[in-house]
């Protein structure tokens, strides 16, 4: 085995390992990816926003500018401080699940309490707490899944 072959094997190993450690999961939305990465690695600038854009949505060239206008100008953690938060209620049920629920005569509306915050906690990036599973987005999208909602804060001029 030559030195070039050893070097090629080492580079391939490192590339595969880095994708397993910090790569977005198939169908994972940007915000769920950021919550997972910040919980594991912490915040050090907009590196995870850039990595998601480069690997999942390379055509989203204005992603950082859009997030900056929304309030996340300098780093990944600002997405949770200023832009998105977990929904207070579970995400809406769609598709076939919704149709089945409409026809279910035995459905008790009180059965679905709003213990959503109790189950998932307030900090979406904490590695100890459980987050709801990502609802998924189409390939190339930089929009959040149904687990997230925009934070609307009053602005004082």
Considering the domain boundaries, does residue 10 fall inside one? no
- What span, in angstroms and rounded, lies between the C-alpha atoms of 103 and 14? 52
Range of the domain at 30: 22-150
- What span, in angstroms and rounded, lies between the C-alpha atoms of 71 and 113? 32
pLDDT of residue 16: 82
pLDDT tens-place string over residues 130-149: 678 999 999 999 999 999 99
Q: What torsion do the CA atoms of 67, 70, 76, 79 make, to the nearest 10 degrees?
A: -130
Q: How confident is the model at residue 94 (pLDDT cuts 50, 70, 90)?
A: low
Considering the domain boundaries, does residue 74 fall inside one? yes
The CA-atom distances, in angstroms, between 5 and each of 10, 11, 19, 75, 118 are 9, 10, 21, 38, 53
Considering the domain boundaries, does residue 126 fall inside one? yes
pTM (whole model) above 0.85? no
pLDDT of residue 137: 94
Considering the domain boundaries, does residue 75 fall inside one? yes
pLDDT of residue 11: 87
Query: Percent of the chain beyond pLDDT 70?
Result: 71
Regarding predicted confidence, which is higher, 113 or 64?
A: 64
Considering the domain boundaries, does residue 155 fall inside one? no
């Amino acid at each position: 085995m030559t030195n070039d072959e050893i070097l090629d094997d080492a580079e391939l190993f490192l590339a595969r390992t880095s994708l397993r450690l910090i790569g977005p999961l198939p169908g994972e939305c940007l915000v769920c990816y950021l919550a997972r990465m910040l919980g594991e690695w912490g915040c050090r600038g907009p590196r995870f926003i850039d990595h998601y854009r480069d690997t999942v949505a390379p055509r989203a060239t204005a992603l950082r500018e859009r997030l900056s206008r929304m309030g996340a100008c300098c780093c990944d953690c600002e997405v949770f401080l200023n832009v998105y938060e977990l929904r207070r209620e579970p995400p809406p049920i769609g598709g076939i699940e919704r149709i089945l629920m409409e026809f279910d005569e035995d459905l008790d509306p009180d059965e679905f309490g709003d213990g959503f915050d109790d189950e998932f906690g307030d900090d979406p990036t904490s590695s100890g707490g459980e987050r709801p599973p990502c609802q998924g987005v189409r390939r190339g999208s930089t929009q959040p899944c149904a687990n997230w909602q925009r934070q609307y804060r009053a602005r004082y001029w």
